[in-house]
Amino acid sequence: MDEKIVKDLIDRLIDLAFAEDIGDGDHTTLSCIPADAMGKSKLLIKEEGILAGIEVAKEVFHRFDPDMKVTVFMQDGTHVKPGDVPMVVEGKVQSLLQTERLMLNIMQRMSGIATMTHKYVERLKGTKTRVLDTRKTTPGMRILEKMAVKIGGGVNHRIGLFDMILLKDNHVDFAGGIDKAITRAKEYCKEKGKDLKIEIEVRNFDELQQVLDLGGVDRIMLDNFTPEDTRKAVEMVGGRVELESSGGITFDTLRDYAECGVDYISVGALTHSVKGLDMSFKAC
């Protein structure tokens, strides 16, 4: 994804986060901490997992107070354990207190996603299958959550509705069938000068055969196929197009699908219901 777009989305997220948290002022901090008081705080890890969000945290601190000094000891993607101290921040105590919760909210969420993703990636070791994220993300935080998936070793599917064409069941039904949906998507890209990959979801073998007969897509999503049907679908496709398994796949069944030979498995659970990694920001 374009770096300028990523930076813009992160900047807007940070602005909104400060607006909703601080409002017209952190009156607790302003009332009891002198404006010239200086201090130091450390990020303390309290749970084993994969660290993610260090670079975003640095941006949070610097955006709020450019004079804050951030010393990083552990980079994104590091396997951390309780007691680890990935970074220390020095500066005005008022600044440390006002940025603490936003930094922790971001880092706990991102680290939880990276940790969950890493678990799924490890489950797929020895197969060619890669784990994909989805658009089942927290509104406004998608770019951070997808960054966390990559840090955990996963692959981003699409960022949004703008960077790939994914013809799902409703698109196919409203368009009047698979042939019309694919044909219109290809014509649209040509008319608009868009170089977008086209993926289509199929619900059964009849739809799969229609897609194979028509061609013109980059990837086929097998929606709610059983492992047995997935293996048959892989044989039908014969490597002519990428295959993605999706729908109702759990951590326990993940490897069953991978061993069928699909290229990707998309997992909404990487982002939609993940638990944050426990950590705190303590004066030191």
Which residue numbers are catalytic?
A: 101, 136, 168, 201, 223
Return the structure tokens found at 213.
């007969």
- Per the DSSP assignment, residues forming a β-bridge with 283 are 41
**Residue 225 and residue 201 in contact, taking contact as beta carbons nearer than 8 Å:** no
- Interatomic CA distance for residues 179 and 171, integer angstroms: 12
Question: Residue 24 burial (CB < 10 Å; 0-12/13-18/19+)?
Answer: exposed
**What backbone phi and psi angles, to 5 degrees, belong to 157?**
-75, -85
Instruction: From residue 175, give the alpha-carbon distance in Å to each of 150, 165, 193, 209.
Output: 34, 14, 21, 18
**Residue 67 and residue 91 in contact, taking contact as beta carbons nearer than 8 Å:** yes
